[in-house]
C-alpha cells in the first residue's frame, strides 16, 4: 500500500484524489489517509502531492513509520469518508507545507 504522512496535516491539498483510479483516499478534518485495503500501489498520486506527503509503505521515512498504522486506523474512524474529487486545500496550506511534526495538530 501507499501511505499519507505527516506533511499532509493542515495542508490537505487533495491533488492526490483526482488521479487515484480506485478512490482509496479517506478524508478527515485536516488530513487524508489511504485505505490500505483499496490502494493498488499504482503510485500515480506520489508526484501529484505538493507536500510530498505520500510514500510507498517500504519508503516511509524512519521517523514517520507510525503513519502506516495510522492510515489503516483512520480509514475506519468515525466521520472519515472516501473523497473522490479534489477540493480547496486547507487555509494556510502553503504556510504549513514543510513544517515538521504536525501530528499534534491532527484532528480526528
Ligand atoms: Fe495530502 Fe498531498 Fe493529498 S497534502 S491531501 S496527500 S495531495
From atom 2 of ligand 1, which residue's Cα is the shortest distance away? 49
Residue 101 covered by a domain: no
Residue 41 covered by a domain: yes
Residue 53 covered by a domain: yes
Whether the Cβ atoms of residue 93 and residue 37 lie closer than 8 Å to each other: no
Structural domain including 75 reads 2-86
Stretch 1-22: mean pLDDT, rounded? 98
**pTM confidence score:** 0.98
- How far apart, in whole angstroms, are the C-alpha atoms of residue 25 and residue 85? 10
Number of domains present in the structure of the chain: 1
CATH number at 70 reads 3.30.70.20
Neighbour tally for 87: CB within 10 Å: 11
Mutate to test the pocket of ligand 1, among 1, 32, 48 (most ligand atoms within 8 A of CB): 32
pLDDT in tens, 33-91: 999 999 999 999 999 999 999 999 999 999 999 999 999 999 999 999 999 999 999 99
Question: What pLDDT, on a 0 to 100 scale, did the predictor assign at position 45?
Answer: 98
Question: What pLDDT, on a 0 to 100 scale, did the predictor assign at position 81?
Answer: 98
Mutate to test the pocket of ligand 1, among 10, 11, 28 (most ligand atoms within 8 A of CB): 11
Does ipTM top 0.90?
A: yes
Amino acid at each position: 500500500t501507499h501511505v499519507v504522512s505527516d506533511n499532509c496535516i493542515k495542508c490537505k491539498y487533495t491533488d492526490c484524489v483526482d488521479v487515484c483510479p480506485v478512490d482509496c483516499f479517506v478524508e478527515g478534518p485536516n488530513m487524508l489517509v489511504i485505505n490500505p485495503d483499496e490502494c493498488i500501489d499504482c503510485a500515480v498520486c506520489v508526484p501529484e502531492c505538493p507536500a510530498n506527503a505520500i510514500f510507498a509503505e517500504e519508503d516511509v521515512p524512519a521517523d514517520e513509520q507510525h503513519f502506516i498504522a495510522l492510515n489503516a486506523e483512520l480509514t475506519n474512524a468515525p466521520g472519515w469518508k472516501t473523497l473522490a474529487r479534489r477540493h480547496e486545500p486547507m487555509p494556510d496550506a502553503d504556510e504549513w507545507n514543510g513544517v515538521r511534526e504536525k501530528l499534534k495538530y491532527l484532528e480526528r
